[in-house]
């Protein structure tokens, strides 16, 4: 039995799919059973609760061979990242009660830094918190999700894909969430290890390359267009981040553009994804047509 936190999210869902494909039993901690109904239909054991309840997490961990943990996405965090700190404290409290065979955490490129990375600071705090655990821990530092650019299927109909990457020909780490889920499942079920591991997940890809692959799917000539720095705040607001709270997202992309989240941090392992941006765009487009 394996516990998957965040099963209704992209990476949690991908992890569960790969575990189920391998014939493993999966348990999920959920706040809303209706939102997770499709997983129950596939045999996933649903446990009521959420990451704000250490007791519920501890109950969900009983009898598992391994656990996948992640943080809820908070695009407009408090200045002190108290939302993340609360969840991390609950994880640590629950996971220190019993020494588990292994724990795998979703992190991000850039989480080795302790400042200047905006939203990724929450994942830096997660890695720091998990270092105190006696269990074997693997942190998967994923690159930017190709899925975060799926808006381009509509936005790029005019031939341009607006991005925060600048310059657009500079490569940064990107990956498909299905590849992350596959790696997490492999870590949970594969050979045992001791201590702490950090796995960098993804490949170096430029926004220009992503736009080109999107164009192949749309059968259009698509070019990446860097959103002017002065327009970032307004653009993030259009994506749903409240006015006055776009700072962490802006700082994150400044860090990406500065190269702070590139591959090759000392002491890490590296796993290359096998799913391209083209694959992600095509799958999403086919799903709409189905």
Tens-digit pLDDT profile for residues 242-285: 999 999 999 999 999 999 888 999 999 999 999 999 999 999 99
Q: What is the mean pLDDT of residues 29-56?
A: 93
For 38-61, what is the mean pLDDT?
93
Name the helix (H) or strand (E) containing 50: none
Helices (H), 47-206: 54-61, 82-95, 121-130, 152-155, 177-189
Confidence category of residue 18, pLDDT binned at 50, 70, 90 = very high
Spatial distance between the Cα atoms of 138 and 204, rounded to a whole number of angstroms:
22
Q: What is the CA radius of gyration of the chain?
A: 19
What average pLDDT does this structure show over 150-167? 94
- Sorted by sequence, the CB contacts under 8 Å of residue 16 that are 6+ apart come out as 4, 7, 26, 28, 39, 44, 181
Q: Which DSSP letter does residue 4 get?
A: E
For residue 56, pLDDT beyond 90: yes
pTM: 0.95
Give per-residue pLDDT as tens, 141-152: 999 999 999 999
Backbone angles phi, psi at 115, to 5 degrees: -165, 160
Residue 210 has pLDDT above 80, yes or no: yes
Question: Residues near 80 by Cβ (< 8 Å), separated by ≥ 6?
Answer: none
d(CA 106, CA 15): 11
Residue 124's pLDDT is what? 97
Show Cβ contacts of residue 233 under 8 Å, excluding neighbours closer than 6 positions: 243, 246, 250
What distances in angstroms separate CA 2 from CA 7, 199, 267, one per listed residue?
Answer: 12, 20, 27
Q: Mean pLDDT score of the chain, rounded to an integer? A: 95
Query: What is the rounded average pLDDT of the residues 96-101?
Result: 81
Structure token pair of residue 139: 């942190």
Alpha-helical runs (H) found in 148-206: 152-155, 177-189
Cα gap 270→264, rounded to integer Å? 8
Q: Is the pLDDT confidence value at 99 over 80? A: no
d(CA 110, CA 120) in angstroms, rounded, equals 7
- Could you tell me the pLDDT band of residue 101, with boundaries at 50, 70 and 90? confident
CB-CB contact of 194 with 182 (8 Å): no
Res. 290: pLDDT tops 80? no
Q: Would the pLDDT of 98 be above 80?
A: no
Q: Is the peptide bond before 167 cis (omega within 30 degrees of 0)?
A: yes
- As a whole number, mean pLDDT of residues 101-107 equals 96
Please give the average per-residue pLDDT across 38-66, as a whole number: 94
Q: Distance of alpha carbon 30 from its chain centroid, rounded?
A: 18
Q: Is the dihedral of CA 51, 52, 54, 58 positive or negative?
A: negative
Find all residues with CB under 8 Å of 34, minimum gap 6, and list them.
none
Provide the Cα torsion 103, 109, 110, 112; round to 10°. Answer: 40
**pLDDT greater than 90 at residue 120:** yes
Residue percentage of the chain with pLDDT more than 90: 91
Q: What is the 3-state secondary structure (H, E, C) of 109-125?
A: CCCCCCCCCHHHHHHHH
For residue 225, what pLDDT is reported?
97
pLDDT at position 97, please?
82
């Amino acid at each position: 039995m394996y516990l998957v936190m965040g099963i209704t999210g992209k990476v949690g869902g991908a992890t569960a799919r790969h575990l189920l494909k391998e014939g493993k039993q999966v348990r999920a901690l959920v706040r809303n059973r209706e939102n997770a109904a499709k997983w129950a239909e596939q045999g996933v054991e649903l446990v009521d609760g959420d990451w704000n309840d250490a007791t519920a997490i501890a109950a969900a961990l009983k009898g598992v061979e391994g656990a996948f943990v992640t943080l809820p996405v908070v695009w407009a965090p408090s200045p002190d990242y108290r939302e993340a700190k609360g969840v991390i404290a609950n994880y640590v409290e629950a996971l220190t009660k019993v020494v588990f065979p292994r724990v795998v955490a979703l992190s991000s490129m850039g989480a080795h830094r302790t400042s200047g990375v905006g939203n990724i600071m929450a994942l830096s705090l997660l890695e720091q918190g998990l270092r105190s655990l006696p269990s074997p821990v693997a942190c998967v530092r994923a690159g930017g999700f190709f899925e975060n650019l799926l808006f381009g299927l509509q936005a790029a109909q005019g031939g341009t894909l607006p991005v925060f990457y600048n310059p657009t020909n500079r490569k940064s780490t990107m990956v498909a969430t299905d590849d992350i889920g596959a790696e997490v499942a492999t870590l949970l079920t594969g050979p045992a290890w001791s201590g702490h591991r950090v796995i960098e997940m993804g490949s170096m890809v430029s926004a220009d390359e992503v736009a080109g692959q999107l164009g192949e799917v749309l059968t259009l000539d698509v070019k990446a267009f860097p959103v002017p720095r002065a327009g970032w705040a307004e653009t993030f607001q259009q994506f749903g981040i409240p006015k006055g709270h776009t700072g962490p997202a802006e700082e994150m992309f400044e860090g990406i553009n500065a190269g702070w989240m590139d591959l090759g941090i000392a002491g890490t392992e590296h796993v290359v994804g096998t799913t391209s941006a083209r694959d992600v765009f095509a799958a999403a487009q086919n799903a709409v047509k189905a």
